[in-house]
Structure 1
Amino acid sequence: MVTPELFVASVTPFTSPSGVIDHTFIIRHLRWLEAQGVDGVVPCGTTGEGQSLSVAERMAIFDTVMQHRGQLRVFAGTGCAALSDTIMLTRYAIERGADAALVLPPFYFKNLSDAGLLGYYRALCDALPSGARLILYHIPPMSQIPITPAVIEGLYQSHPHMVYGLKDSGGDPAYLAMLTRRFPELRVYVGSAALLAQALRDGAAGGIFALSNVFPREMRAVMTAHLTGNDGENAQQRVTAISQALKPYGNPPAIKALLARIADLPHASSRFPLVDLTADEAEALWTTVQQITAP
Structure 2
Amino acid sequence: MVMHDLTGAFAPVVTPFLPDGSTDTSRFIAHCRWLIDQGAGLAPFGTNSEANSMSAGERMDLLAALIAAGLPAARLLPGTGACSAPETAMLTRHAVANGCAGVLMLPPFFYKGISDDGLYGWYADVIARVGDRRLRLYLYHIPALSGVPIAHAVIERLLRDFPGIVVGIKDSSGDWDNLSRMLERFPTLAVFPASESLISRSRPLGARGCISATVNVNPGRISRLVKEWNTPGGAALQAEVDAVRQVVQGFPMIAALKDILAAGRDDEAWRRVRAPLTGLSDAQAETLHASLRGLGFRL
Under a length normalisation based on structure 2, what TM-score does the superposition of the two structures give? 0.91
Unaligned residue ranges in structure 2 (runs of 5+): none
Matches within 5 A, 1:24-173: 24-38=26-40, 40-71=41-72, 73-128=75-130, 129-173=132-176
Offset, 1:154: 1.0
CA distance in 2, matches of 1:77, 1:251: 18
Taking the aligned partners of 1:69 and 1:244, their CA distance within structure 2 comes to 34
Query: Who is 2:21 aligned against?
Result: 19
CA contact (8 A) 1:214 1:262 kept: no
Summarize the Cα distance change of 1:63–1:112 in structure 2 as closer, same or farther, 3 Å threshold: same
Shifted more, 254-263 versus 5-14: the winner is: 254-263
Corresponding residue of 2:197: 194
In 1, the alpha carbon distance for the partners of 2:70 and 2:188 equals: 27
Summarize the Cα distance change of 1:210–1:69 in structure 2 as closer, same or farther, 3 Å threshold: farther
Note the alpha carbon deviations across 1:12-60, whole angstroms, 9 max, x for none: 11125x711111101111221122122x201111010111111111111
Q: Does the Cα contact within 8 Å between 2:43 and 2:77 map onto a contact in 1? A: yes
Structure 1 unpaired stretches of 5+: none
Structure 1 residue matching 2:211: 3-state secondary structure: strand
Task: Map Cα deviations across residues 115-148 of structure 1 (whole Å, 9 max, x no partner).
Answer: 0000000111112211111000011111121111
Cross-structure match for 1:261:
263
Percent of aligned pairs with the same residue? 36
Q: Distance in 1 between matches of 2:222 and 2:266?
A: 20
d(CA) in 2 for partners of 1:3 and 1:169?
Answer: 18
The AA in structure 1 aligned to 2:245 is S
Distance 1:217 1:262 in 2: 15
Q: Secondary structure of the residue that 1:13 maps to in structure 2?
A: coil
Q: CA deviation at 1:294?
A: 5.1
- Alignment CA distance shift 1:294-1:251 (3 Å): closer
User: Amino acid of the residue matched to residue 196 of structure 1?
Assistant: I
SS at match of 2:269: coil
Moved over 6 A (4+): none
Q: Describe the SS at the equivalent of 2:226.
A: helix
**Relative to 1, partners in 2 of residues 1:224 and 1:264: Cα closer, same or farther, differing over 3 Å?**
farther
1:131-180 superposed Cα distances (whole Å, 9 cap, x missing partner):
11100001111112111111111112221120121001111112111111
TM-score, length-scaled by structure 1: 0.92
Q: 1:124 to 1:275 in 2, by over 3 A?
A: same
Corresponding letter in the other structure for 1:45: G
Partner Cα separation in structure 2 for residue 14 and residue 227 of structure 1: 39
- Which of 6, 14, 18 aligns to 2:9? It is 6
**Inter-partner Cα distance in structure 2 for 1:3 and 1:51:** 25
Aligned to 2:239: 237
Task: Tell whether the 8 Å contact from 1:241 to 1:292 is kept in structure 2 after alignment.
Answer: yes
Alignment partners' CA distance in 1, 2:95 and 2:134: 13
Q: Is the CA contact 1:30–1:68 (under 8 Å) kept in the aligned structure 2?
A: no
Aligned residue-pair number: 291
Contact 2:140 2:169 in 1 (8 A): yes
Match of residue 248, structure 1, among 243, 250, 254:
250
State whether residues 173 and 199 of structure 1, in contact with CA within 8 Å, keep that contact through their aligned partners in structure 2: no
Check the 8 A contact 2:45/2:59 in 1, yes or no.
Answer: yes
